[in-house]
Amino acid sequence: MASGPAQIDDGRPGQQQTGSMESGYAPATGSAEAGGAEDHRPAQASSTLRAAWWRAAVRRPEFWVVVCGAAGGVLSGVYGIYVENTSPVGYGLKWLYSCLLGMGSAFIGVFLMANSDVSSSNSLRRTLAFALMCGFAWRPVLEAGTALVKKHARDDQLSEQIRAHEKDVAQVANAPVAVASTTIDLLRKAERVDTETLKAKASEQAVKVVNELRSAAPNEPEAAEALAEVAEAATDTGDQAVAREAVVALTEASAKNPALARRISPRLERIAIAADAKKMPVVAAKSREALRGSRTALPDAAAPDASTP
């Protein structure tokens, strides 16, 4: 009997209060469920992104190159412990370092040094085998990669200097000593470069300077001195073409101006000795020929005898 009136919809305050309480609980429950769903969404999104990243990574050959490099690093550690009997101190760090070094050396060896083609399955198998060996022998691979980067840096530097030196050739008549100095620096840098095309370009630029100095050397002592310095530098660096042209130019200059013979005789002697040491017989013969000519031009000059190295 007591519960009957509460269920009659007669508009009494009790009925309205009950309805409002029921309607108040429903939204609270709904918001709590929505909040819980929102709390799980960032974790689900992050998990989805990670899964998508892994699916994309395993399809890339670079991923497997790095994995093979890490495996090679592990093999390197195993080899060191069981074959070379190295002490397994810092065991965990040893494996970590071996993996990291193997990964780096594999990537450098495959894509920088070997420039491998991974477009086909056959080449990919060979590439992965090479990556494994790069990871195993990570030290020489990293050293070779460092040397390759330094080589490219030297080549770029020499290329830039060759381009700058092209403008200096036109200034030989105005500043022979300064142009000879830049030419000598160019020859010394070309000596440290292994790229034959760049060495040939540097030699060509130096020959142009020699030809410009050739006409001025008989009458201008500065030009003759600059020519002798270029000849010595070319002989020291082993550039036979430049040294030969410079020595011939000195011979011609001393023949036209006998007063230069006494001045250039010591330089010709040094050039002849350096040419013998560098196994440049043509330059050595030209230098001794020029030296004999200078003694003939000035019989009373105490020119040193370079006939015997």
**What is the pLDDT averaged over residues 50-67?**
72
206 and 124 together in one domain: no
**End-to-end CA gap in the chain:** 137
pLDDT of residue 85: 61
What backbone torsions phi and psi does residue 135 show, to the nearest 5 degrees? -65, -35
Tokens representing 243 are 């040294």
**Of 12-16, 152-156, 250-254, the least confident:** 12-16
User: Does residue 35 fall inside a structural domain?
Assistant: no
Q: What residues contact 3, with CB distance under 8 A and at least 6 apart?
A: none
Residues 181 and 264 in one domain: yes
**pTM across the whole model:** 0.60
The verdict on 186 and 279 lying in the same domain is yes
Last residue of a domain, one of 76, 102, 136: 136
Kindly state whether residues 187 and 257 are assigned to the same domain: yes
| Pair (175, 122) in one structural domain | no
Domain annotation covers residue 14:
no
Q: Tell me the H-state helices in 217-239.
A: 221-237
Same domain, residue pair 161 and 102: no
In a domain, 236, yes or no: yes
- Tell me how far apart the alpha carbons of residues 55 and 171 are, in angstroms, rounded to a whole number: 63
Whether 115 and 244 map to the same domain: the answer is no
Reported confidence tier of residue 61, pLDDT bands at 50, 70, 90: confident
Answer whether residue 269 is part of any domain.
yes
- The answer on 163 and 256 residing in a single domain is yes
Residue 281 near residue 263 (C-beta atoms within 8 A): no
**Same domain, yes or no, for 132 and 159?**
no
Rounded average pLDDT over 228-255: 90
For all residues of the chain together, what is the average pLDDT?
Answer: 77
Answer with the one of 104, 136, 168 that is the final residue of a domain: 136
Write down which residue in 136, 171, 198 finishes a domain.
Answer: 136
Q: Do residues 249 and 288 make contact, with C-beta atoms less than 8 angstroms apart?
A: no
Residues 183 and 271 reside in one and the same domain: yes
Number of separate domains in the chain: 2
Q: What is the pLDDT of residues 71-118, one digit of tens each?
A: 888 888 777 766 666 655 556 677 788 888 888 888 888 888 888 877
* pLDDT-based confidence at residue 5 (cuts at 50, 70, 90): very low
Which residue reads 């002697």 in tokens?
Answer: 269
pLDDT over threshold 90, residue 206: yes
- Residue 11, pLDDT > 90, answer no
124-164: pLDDT as tens digits: 778 888 888 888 888 888 888 888 888 989 999 999 999 88
Q: Does 274 share its domain with 161? A: yes
Indicate whether 199 and 251 sit together in one domain: yes
- Domain holding 96, by residue range, is 61-136
Helix (H/G/I), strand (E/B), else coil: 92? helix
Residue 42 resides in a domain:
no
